[in-house]
Structure 1
Amino acid sequence: MKLRIKPMPVAILQVIASGAFSVAALTPAMAQQASGTEPVQRVVVTGSLISRTDTETATPVQVITAADIQRSGKTSVAELLSDLASNGAGTLGTGFSGAFANGASGISLRGLSVGATLVLLDGHRVAPYAIGDDAQRSFVDVSNIPFDAIESIEVLKAGASSLYGSDAVAGVVNIKLKKSYNGTRLSAEGGTTQHGGGTTKRASFSTGFGDLDADGYNAFVTAEYRRQGGIKISDRLGNDWNDRDWTARGGNNLTLGVPTSLNNMLTQANTPYLFNPSGPALPGTNPATNQPYSATDNPVNYQFLNSNCDFTRYRAGQCAVADNSSFIQPKTENVNVLAGFTKKLAGDWEMGVKGSYFRRESSNNRGVPPVFSPTSFAGNTALSPDGTLTPRVGALGATTFPAGSAVGAGITNNLPGTARLYGYVPGTAAASTSDNTATATRLALDLNGTAYGWDMRLAGGLTESKVEIDYSGYIDRNALYNSLRSGTFNVLGGNSQALTDTISPRFSNTNTSKLNYADATASRELTQLGAGPLIFAAGLHWHKREWDAPPSALTANGQVASTSPFVFGSETNTAAFAELQATLIKNVETSISGRYDRFDTYGHSFTPAANFKWTPSKQFALRGNFARGFRAPNPAESGSAGSFFSYNAISDPVLCPTGNITAPGSVPIYCKFTPVFVQQTSKDLSPEKSKSYDLGIVLAPIQGLGITFDYYKIELSNQIVSAATSDPNYVPSFVRGAPVQMDTVQADGSIASVLSPVGPALYATSGYINAGKTTTSGIEAAINYRFNLPDGMGSLRTDLSAAHTFDYTQSVNGVSYQLAGTQGPSGVGGATGNPKNRAQFSLTWARGPLDVTTSVNYTSSFSSLDPSVGGTNCASTGTDVGGRNYFASIDGGQPASYCRVASFTTTNLNLQYKVTPNLTLKGTILNVFDKAPPIDVGTYGNSGVQTAYNASLHQAGAVGRFFSLGLGYTF
């Protein structure tokens, strides 16, 4: 195998060449073992049940300490973890506004999605977020875990189902909260972005008393308040990644309200107007002159109802709509409280109780304005709690008004024929918005001690995630149409608040996810065997999970759509597991483990694992691991659940049979349109299964230098995927309304309104299937170096972590796609991008009271193609996944330069200065060089309808340079 190393940023290479290696977040144990006569503590490291003194285990574990968190300059755990080099495709960031679970944040180790990464608190399960990622994948929201409550974060980068059960396919993120605290600490910081918006304030308070050794107890409480201002699209105007007008780049003008050939010259302008489809053809020529329409033409098929817009202005794009609502960064407010009590009991037993309340309020939207639209899905189906759907209104002809009829209050259709109404609904919100209040509560009890020669750990907990959502900016189209027909609604505005609230009602619903657990483990040394002790550990686990996420009342009866998915279901898991560790040969540590899980939803799974670590010298170790893993079908996949979603652009097989917008018989709006799908569950799903292999080396050639290299390969089969998003050959089964008049291309190229052969596509169905298989492999490196500078110049610590993906192959129905370094897999990863290389580098200089850290985050370039959805042509990557028609032809025409997303590097600077032993000042600059995000035409989760940057990988670029100052005082 020939390894080709691509260029990294020059700054990183220079540091590597100088021999100064390391990363603040990574702590290989060979470089940090206790020295001299310091007492050696035994700890249980994530990935094992057995305590040890050497934290560099047979499986790679990345440790992020509380000090590392402070040095990062970040203000939230979500920001911190999103930069992990091992965090790949499918990661969910708070800027990913296109997600069902927007506002939340999840980690996707090794690019296998947030559903394949298990997140623990203090080594135990917690309730997943009450809204699934893509309405399917369960994950733990890390965006509301407070900094000051964290002792450390351990990232196990290996399959771990043999000890932790379901979901630990790609690895485990174990967030360890503080166990005790003495004294009192106050801290406050504030910052803002250079380009406007995003002002952030954070304050925390921690206090505790009692010494465990002297007093036998400790009690503490820590509280945090954080408020982050929103950044809107309108705050970042003037950037190419935030410009809907692509005409200067040879593309289309996608500005809201601007008529183009892509929207058949019919779009929702900033004021209402009527259009008569039986008048002169659009877009085409004026039959009177056989010439294209000019600014002086005033065809009879337009009737503008407001002087702010007329035909000339409309056709010149001067009736555009400004997007002043869509968020690049949502506004959030966090209130977090953690309380703990630890008590020494008889013998060496110890009891710990923790209670936490984490609350996040956020305002999110997808930037989809409420409009009069003849192709709108809203109001045409009713969604029942059992997942069935029935058409409500039938044909989408409810917006037509015969000549001479009333068009709402005081407005008459003066066109000589049946007309349609276009424009924005006056008095309503500018975007469909959800204000989320997400609370995570937890009460946990831990008992540790020894009995009958066994080290015992007993635990139990009650955990809950609740998301209360208030919706605004949605249109109840039945109420709208009825009020227009009755003449009570004025399309020019000035309606009463009561009527507006009827047309655009505010409504809410509450989603709840609960998980209660009980754990018991015991370990002891059985005997001496070979060159060391034979140690055995065993445990039992039980948890019950309940997911109660009903649809809102207005969604259930079909009045509005595109709200959060609904889920009803539960699962009960009982498991037994064990681990056996031995040193049969000198310097060769081996262990085997296995777990038997029983789920009441599908049956049972057995997952074994084996690993070894050979340490012939203090300077070198070789380690390896084999593990099987699984992910059980969750209630959103196999329970009673449903959701609406839109995916990539396709052509209607009847209304645009050739896929050509200009072909006779084509209905242009149904060529490369983005249909609405209704996701359905499947009762007979089997669990996903995995096999993972890891082989690595650990080096400590000189004092203070630690190096690890780990190769991994994961084979994930039986993947649970949505048929529509994972099979490019999937043919949707459409539920259609009755045939209606549609603008159709005629034999001479003109467009006329004729009765369609079939009705418009109301929606298509898609079920979950066990059809996917993914194989991925790569190498991860961690290098750190600590050393003192001469002549009292202080000390340096340098850290580097890097990940390179060799292979990421997805197979569906026997067809395989190589996706490493591409946009895919969109159906699993949400078009978040799948770069081959990610790296983190930091350099910390400390001298006396001053501590300065510079960190660099690097993401390599990748292709905007996604072969897994049929995207193999650089001329159409914008439409293949996200349905973004940036360029001239709906069938292609995109310049080759947009086939790649450029690499992205950001640099952060953090300074801390101890004014006194009690007072510390802090200053941070994030994105020091104000690096802008590269253009990504293939993604769809970014803010607004048409912004072209990757919110999962390049969010720091959209935020821009950020400054903050803070202080902390300890009593």
Structure 2
Amino acid sequence: MFTIHRSTRKAALLAAVTPFAMLYAGAVSAQTAPEGASTDAASIAQQTQGTEAADDQAGNDIVVTGSIIRGTDAGPSPVSTITTENLDARGINTVQAGIQALSSNNGPALTNSFTANGAFASGASSVSLRGLSTNSTLVLFDGLRAAYYPLSDDGSRNFVDLNTIPDDIVERVDVLRDGASSSYGADAIAGVVNIITKRSFQGVTGRVEAGIAERGYNANQRLSLTAGTGDLDEKGYNAYVSGFYYRAEGVQSKSLPAPFNSSDERGLCGDRTGTRVCGPNNVANGLDANGSFTNGFAIGTGNFYVRPANATNTTALGRYQLLNPTAGCRVGTPYNPTAAELALPINATAPGTVCQVDTQNLYGNVTPDQERFGGSARFTAKVGDTSEAYFQVNFQQSTASYTGVPATIRANAPAGILFPQYSTSQNATAAIDPRSAILALPVYICARGTATCNATNGTLNPNNPFAASGQVARLVGTLANEREFNETRSRVYRAAMGINGTIFGDVDYRADATAMHTDLRRRTDGYVYIQHLLDVIADGSYNFVNPELNSQATLDYLTPQNITNSSSDLYQAQFTLGKALFALPGGDLRVAVGGSVFYEAVDAPSGNPDTNGPTQRYFRQNAFGTSGNRTVTSAFGEINAPILDQLTLNASGRYDHYSTGQSNFSPKFGAIFTPIQQVTVRGTYSRGFRIPSFGEANALPTTGYVTQQLSSIPAAFLSQYSTNPGAGQICTANTPNNCSGYITAYSIGQTTLASPDLKPEKSRSFTAGIKFEPIRSLSLTVDYYNIKKTGAITTPDLSPAIAAYYAGQAIPTGFEVIPDAVDVNNPTARPKIAFVRSQLINAQTIKSEGIDFGANGFVDFGGVKWTTNLNASLILELSTTVDGVRQTYVDTLGNFNLTAGSGTFEWKGNWSNTFDFGDLALTGTVNYTSGYDLSAMDQGDAYKDCGQAPAYSGCRVKSYITADANATFKVNDKFSFYVNALNIFNRLPPIDPVTYGAYLYNAVQGGEGIFGRSYRAGAKFNF
């Protein structure tokens, strides 16, 4: 991934008639409530779970997420619960998708669609509670930590991949919407997602399911089977095994309706500026809105162009031309610019025939192909009369893959991280001139390895149309018959074991241990290896004139497969002891203490390092990488004091010490007050921390890419790159359509150097909530939260360094600007910036403030049961402060550094309703996400000033509402069938021309709505 403040409070009307799944509340240890409601609201409704073992043995206490004290009362923190039954009723077929749909999940969440759009953490999905990014939400499995995904979000943020959740053994998901470092340690600043697996299971259950979008794409299938035996009460043991298979077909942009299926944005028009303006034609070498070729020459895709230069490759001697004019445009539509068009400065190097290629339509991807399968097994047994032990193992493999654009040959080797400058020693073949670094086909070719190739020992180059004239041919283009392919395959192995019960008659104890290992393989094909390109150019072994005639062996040499293996590990042992000390007027005063030790490690080497020189690597592959390990020892405790029947106080604290030198103590205080039976008031105050990630504190340079912002470039420099200055089309930060693609259409590498002295981020948070239950079948909740992080880790503002470089001034202290190679279309221009290097610093203050709303009800109309559930989250403020300068982002596109330009939505929510007629249950859900202003203060904008919106766009991206429906028919006690209709009104996401996680829409806001109306049908059985 890659970029919020108090705004006008607008009441969002979430109107819907949408059934809500029957809430599973039949078992004490599985007592749950729907997302957006507290766990103590679960008694509203019940649903029998077929042959599933009911965990309602007398004496079992609920273990509340966020507390280490066993008891039947909910804690003071707001906790939402997702049950698998809830997800089924809403037509959500994976736990990962259910977590993404949380109303409290906001802003920089990482969805699966990012994999097909260049995400650093390809193949993964993560949650971001409160808009505080993926590294401030802690994900647990049965209360224990999980291994990080080996790749970091944006190259720096550690997180747990939600795709590793074993869906079919999940009992429920508890979402603690409060700081919880006092119980769980680092990273639980915004909240905790706790995946609770089934304790026991009897019988056999399974499902078969398939779905597809109405337009015929996004086909998906799911198979699962679970079998268990043994009754814990009668036989003293239970064992079950479970397996599943899931597949989702990738979707390409060309399958979508306009405008999402084309690079031509001329159909997007607006009159915000007082004059009707339409979008650009981003088709490579496409014509502008007036039908003229004024956008500058682009190398296109699938075609080679050459340009004559003198024998030493120091002076160009003419324009570009198609390398094989007879073959014409192998990809795209030919266009012959007029003499007037060729005379424009922006077209100074353009050929007489250009190929117009709609890259988005031909090669764009919406989502990758996804395949997941795995298995789980658990054995649980009574130990004596008062204890219970378990052992559980899980394996899961998850694969995501997509095919992208044709293999690209750049005009020069890009600047490297370790070797940013060129030298003569890097160019033994003389194919790249050490002064200009411009790629060229030589006059003569010789056997590979020949030190000097000339007329004496070589032959005229058949690929060079100018060889007979003694001229080299500068080369740009892409391979028509070779496309880039990306695949990530994750294998997760997890084992857990533990024992819990009572000793000495009244002391509760629990001991658990877990080990989790992730193997991640990244495989790429179709990327050009620079040194191999120089080899085949020098010896003529690659046929550039007729690429389709090359052998597979030659293609494999030019674009060798690249496999990078990464891994992560987590080993943890934890114990707790609890005891009721004495009676208070409201009940027993209970205390608990515990300890934990865990080891975590990530080893994710760069898939494209330049450690051996700038040519010993691939074009277009990112060089990021990270590694590190640490051991953490912790001690924690909690006290729960029911002072009165109406008042309970709670306090907890935890001390964590890291082998890397950091330590932290995290306290928390809470209270529950029930003045009358129908009203409960609760509140918490806590302090927490986030440990610097391996990607932030490691010793490897990590590079992320950010879009070039015109506001950081001096106006005098911009004006030199106007598309048509004669017509008054001057390039400025406010008129990007008038700017040459040379300066606007690229990203800057933001390289983070080792920052071993970073301190943990610290947080202060408090919550205040009220639950009103006027009758047993109706519950209303409102919870306020306020989180403040200090010492937040951030990249220094790059704008001063960028502006200084383009102005020819000294680069400010703390930054290093590395220029890219000379641009062949603008050889006299100041080279663009390749990288800006700096160290991360503890400099930000981040504040997140908002309100959660929940309403849950159940009514029986003479046998027809109606269940309703409303959840909504309102962000009042999300702001950052650096060096005393405060920037706010609610209801805007920013913060780019924090949310990767995916915005922060003021409102997000859903409303579900279920009507159960006995054998038939109908469920409907309405989902709402608010719109936002196209501005971001960290990009130089004022708050909500429309600063990022192009002239053809409105200032705001509209809100987005979708509706889903589900029908379940119960044939008998053993069989049921269901049909989902998702996005039943076929509403596509609103247009967003700025967000870059997806094309022309916001992937976080739009989700799977981009597929339009979809259907899914399945059958479930229980024996």
Normalised-by-shorter TM-score class: 0.7 to 0.9
Cα deviation for residue 923 of structure 1 reads 0.8
Q: Give per-residue Cα distances to partners, 1:279-333, cap 9 Å, x unaligned.
A: xxxxxxxxxxxxxxxxxxxx86535523323661887875315554432111111
Cα deviation for residue 428 of structure 1 reads 1.9
Which residue, 605, 629, 640 being the options, matches 1:570? 629
2:391 matched to which residue of 1? 353
Does 1:161 find its partner at 2:189?
no
Shift in CA distance, 408/529, structure 1 to aligned 2, threshold 3 Å: farther
Relative to the length of structure 2, the TM-score reads 0.83
Does 1:507 find its partner at 2:507?
no
Q: Give per-residue Cα distances to partners, 1:243-268, cap 9 Å, x unaligned.
A: 31122332211124547778632333
1:910 matched to which residue of 2? 966
1:483 matched to which residue of 2? 536
Task: Choose 301-310 or 516-525, whichever is displaced more.
Answer: 301-310
Q: Give per-residue Cα distances to partners, 1:56-108, cap 9 Å, x unaligned.
A: x3110001122112212112222111111000111010011332112211000
Shift in CA distance, 167/241, structure 1 to aligned 2, threshold 3 Å: same
2:1003 matched to which residue of 1? 951
Shift in CA distance, 42/646, structure 1 to aligned 2, threshold 3 Å: same
- Aligned AA (1:312): N
Cα deviation for residue 129 of structure 1 reads 0.8
Correspondences of 1:379-418 after superposition (within 5 Å): 380-381=415-416, 397-401=437-441, 409-413=462-466
Partner Cα distance (1:189, 1:31) in 2: 31
Cα deviation for residue 188 of structure 1 reads 0.4
Shift in CA distance, 586/3, structure 1 to aligned 2, threshold 3 Å: farther
Gaps of 5+ in 2: 21-31, 47-55, 270-277, 311-317, 338-350, 428-433, 446-458, 732-738, 805-810
Cα deviation for residue 115 of structure 1 reads 0.2
Cα deviation for residue 643 of structure 1 reads 2.9
Work out whether residues 112 and 170 of structure 1, in 8 Å CA contact, stay in contact via their aligned partners in 2: yes
1:696 matched to which residue of 2? 769
Partner Cα distance (1:647, 1:822) in 2: 18
Partner Cα distance (1:872, 1:407) in 2: 60
Does 1:720 find its partner at 2:752?
no
Partner Cα distance (1:203, 1:828) in 2: 37
Work out whether residues 874 and 895 of structure 1, in 8 Å CA contact, stay in contact via their aligned partners in 2: no
Work out whether residues 39 and 80 of structure 2, in 8 Å CA contact, stay in contact via their aligned partners in 1: no
- Aligned AA (2:479): V
Work out whether residues 934 and 946 of structure 2, in 8 Å CA contact, stay in contact via their aligned partners in 1: no
Work out whether residues 632 and 656 of structure 2, in 8 Å CA contact, stay in contact via their aligned partners in 1: yes
1:749 matched to which residue of 2? none
Partner Cα distance (1:739, 1:716) in 2: 40
1:815 matched to which residue of 2? 885
1:230 matched to which residue of 2? 250
- Aligned AA (2:1011): V
Correspondences of 1:482-561 after superposition (within 5 Å): 482-491=535-544, 492-493=546-547, 494-552=549-607, 556-557=611-612, 558-560=616-618
2:102 matched to which residue of 1? 84
Task: Choose 672-681 or 858-867, whichever is displaced more.
Answer: 672-681
- Aligned AA (2:721): T
Correspondences of 1:213-252 after superposition (within 5 Å): 213-236=233-256, 238-248=257-267, 249=269, 250-252=278-280
Work out whether residues 534 and 580 of structure 1, in 8 Å CA contact, stay in contact via their aligned partners in 2: yes
Work out whether residues 14 and 911 of structure 2, in 8 Å CA contact, stay in contact via their aligned partners in 1: no
Work out whether residues 268 and 372 of structure 1, in 8 Å CA contact, stay in contact via their aligned partners in 2: no
- Aligned AA (1:709): V
The SS at the match of 2:718 is: coil
Which residue, 64, 71, 78 being the options, matches 1:52? 71
Q: Give per-residue Cα distances to partners, 1:607-629, cap 9 Å, x unaligned.
A: 11101010112100111100001
Correspondences of 1:118-133 after superposition (within 5 Å): 118-133=138-153
Which residue, 778, 783, 788 being the options, matches 2:850? 778
Cα deviation for residue 741 of structure 1 reads 7.5
Cα deviation for residue 40 of structure 1 reads 7.6
Cα deviation for residue 502 of structure 1 reads 1.4
The SS at the match of 1:640 is: coil
Correspondences of 1:301-450 after superposition (within 5 Å): 301-306=320-325, 307-309=327-329, 312=336, 318-323=355-360, 324-364=362-402, 367=404, 369-374=406-411, 377=414, 380-381=415-416, 397-401=437-441, 409-413=462-466, 419-429=473-483, 431=484, 433-450=485-502
| Superposition RMSD in Å | 3.4
2:952 matched to which residue of 1? 895
Partner Cα distance (2:460, 2:87) in 1: 60
Which residue, 80, 84, 87 being the options, matches 1:69? 87
1:851 matched to which residue of 2? 921
Shift in CA distance, 399/926, structure 1 to aligned 2, threshold 3 Å: same
Partner Cα distance (1:98, 1:566) in 2: 15
Which residue, 303, 307, 316 being the options, matches 1:271? 303
Shift in CA distance, 457/301, structure 1 to aligned 2, threshold 3 Å: closer
Work out whether residues 17 and 913 of structure 2, in 8 Å CA contact, stay in contact via their aligned partners in 1: no
Shift in CA distance, 654/94, structure 1 to aligned 2, threshold 3 Å: closer
The SS at the match of 1:32 is: helix
1:28 matched to which residue of 2? 38
Which residue, 636, 649, 659 being the options, matches 1:600? 659
2:274 matched to which residue of 1? none
Partner Cα distance (1:863, 1:738) in 2: 33
Shift in CA distance, 24/71, structure 1 to aligned 2, threshold 3 Å: farther
The SS at the match of 2:495 is: strand
1:286 matched to which residue of 2? none
Work out whether residues 753 and 839 of structure 2, in 8 Å CA contact, stay in contact via their aligned partners in 1: yes
Partner Cα distance (1:633, 1:478) in 2: 37
Shift in CA distance, 315/41, structure 1 to aligned 2, threshold 3 Å: farther
Partner Cα distance (2:713, 2:865) in 1: 71
1:678 matched to which residue of 2? 751
1:750 matched to which residue of 2? none
Does 1:707 find its partner at 2:759?
no
Cα deviation for residue 935 of structure 1 reads 1.0
Shift in CA distance, 707/322, structure 1 to aligned 2, threshold 3 Å: same
Task: Choose 217-226 or 254-263, whichever is displaced more.
Answer: 254-263
The SS at the match of 2:751 is: strand
Cα deviation for residue 599 of structure 1 reads 0.6
Shift in CA distance, 133/71, structure 1 to aligned 2, threshold 3 Å: same
1:620 matched to which residue of 2? 679
Number of residue pairs matched?
Answer: 907
Work out whether residues 263 and 359 of structure 2, in 8 Å CA contact, stay in contact via their aligned partners in 1: no
Cα deviation for residue 206 of structure 1 reads 0.4
Cα deviation for residue 824 of structure 1 reads 1.1
Work out whether residues 523 and 562 of structure 2, in 8 Å CA contact, stay in contact via their aligned partners in 1: yes
Does 1:11 find its partner at 2:67?
no
Shift in CA distance, 277/693, structure 1 to aligned 2, threshold 3 Å: farther
Which residue, 959, 964, 971 being the options, matches 2:1016? 964
1:289 matched to which residue of 2? none
Shift in CA distance, 301/231, structure 1 to aligned 2, threshold 3 Å: closer
The SS at the match of 1:601 is: coil
Partner Cα distance (2:662, 2:680) in 1: 40
Cα deviation for residue 130 of structure 1 reads 1.1
Cα deviation for residue 539 of structure 1 reads 0.6
1:881 matched to which residue of 2? none
Correspondences of 1:783-932 after superposition (within 5 Å): 783-790=855-862, 792=863, 794-872=864-942, 894-895=951-952, 897=954, 899-932=955-988
Shift in CA distance, 13/657, structure 1 to aligned 2, threshold 3 Å: farther
Work out whether residues 908 and 930 of structure 2, in 8 Å CA contact, stay in contact via their aligned partners in 1: yes
Partner Cα distance (1:804, 1:654) in 2: 36
The SS at the match of 1:99 is: coil
2:275 matched to which residue of 1? none
Which residue, 669, 689, 711 being the options, matches 1:630? 689
Work out whether residues 257 and 317 of structure 1, in 8 Å CA contact, stay in contact via their aligned partners in 2: yes
The SS at the match of 1:92 is: coil
Partner Cα distance (1:3, 1:478) in 2: 53
